[in-house]
Amino acid sequence: MINLIISSIKKPIKWLLSISDILNALKQNYRQDRSVLRLNLGVGPYPIDNSTKINMQSYGDGWVYIDKYIKQPGTQNFDIRDLPYASQSVDTILASHVLEHIPFPQVAQVLKYWYSLLKPNGEIYLNVPDMEWLCQRFVDLVKANRSKSNKYCKEFFNLACDYSNIKHSFLSAIFGTHEHEGEIHHSGFTKESISQLMQQCGFKVREIKTGVEQHDVGCIIIKASKISV
């Protein structure tokens, strides 16, 4: 009788262990699937623009969308200066039109923080407004306006002085739209200044270029990596 009871108990125990093994295997597989961690910082409202999508696809899967100020499905509302990730746990950081929103005394500190999050040889992709382009463009508009050409006077007002429609004004490219706290620009960069700053913070700059891209303004695009020690 005792042997029969023990035998009857062993059967469900074996069955439970097999379920436990399955669950552990699933958990292990989940961890493996999440071993790649890529952060899109300051993702902004959907839909994501095509150039950003292409850049994300070039790196692969595993993206987490983060934006402190945008409430939308699939976006984590974390502060990009204080993220819930361990040091050397992130494969890729993408920050498109984000760094200019950081107060300029904090920019180096933030870059060093992002550097600490990256794994050895981890990569970072930045896209920031080109302050040299913006300033030159603004001066060109001012000069054109002073020429008293009706065409340029209208263009100058529409692009540089239309305070009633700041979101679509040229001024928003310099100062931000000020729609909320996260849409204010606090910093500006040239190709040389951002390159030097990245290197000072430990990054190896692998590619840097300028051109008119996102938001129809001059941009600086930087691809850099964490130097493996």
Residues 6+ apart with CB under 8 A from 25: none
Tokens 């992002």 label which residue?
A: 114
Closest listed residue to residue 189, CA positions, set 103, 119, 137, 129: 129
- The domain ranges of the chain are 1-34, 36-128+181-226, 133-175
How many angstroms separate the CA atoms of 171 and 12, rounded?
A: 71
pLDDT(85) > 90: yes
CATH architecture designation of domain 36-128+181-226: 3-Layer(aba) Sandwich (3.40)
pLDDT(32) > 80: no
97 contacts 43 by C-beta, under 8 angstroms: no
Between residues 149 and 17, the one the model is more confident about: 149
99-139 pLDDT, tens digit per residue, is: 999 999 999 999 999 999 999 999 999 999 999 999 988 88
65-82 pLDDT, tens digit per residue, is: 999 998 999 999 999 999
205 contacts 198 by C-beta, under 8 angstroms: yes
Band of pLDDT at residue 170, cut at 50, 70 and 90: confident
Number of C-beta neighbours around residue 206 at 10 A: 11
Q: Which of 34-38, 75-79, 145-149 has the lowest mean pLDDT?
A: 145-149
pLDDT of 13 reads 35
Band of pLDDT at residue 84, cut at 50, 70 and 90: very high
pLDDT of 10 reads 46
Band of pLDDT at residue 98, cut at 50, 70 and 90: very high
Burial 143-177 (b: 16+ CB within 10 A, else e): eebeeeeeebeeebeebbebeeeeeebbbbbbebb
Tokens 């190896």 label which residue?
A: 204
Average pLDDT over residues 221-228: 92
Between residues 186 and 161, the one the model is more confident about: 186
How many angstroms separate the CA atoms of 58 and 40, rounded?
A: 13
How many angstroms separate the CA atoms of 117 and 51, rounded?
A: 25
Q: Which of 17-31, 104-118, 122-136, 197-211 has the lowest mean pLDDT?
A: 17-31
Between residues 179 and 7, the one the model is more confident about: 179
Instruction: Kindly state the percentage of the chain with pLDDT values over 70.
Output: 73
Average pLDDT over residues 3-8: 44
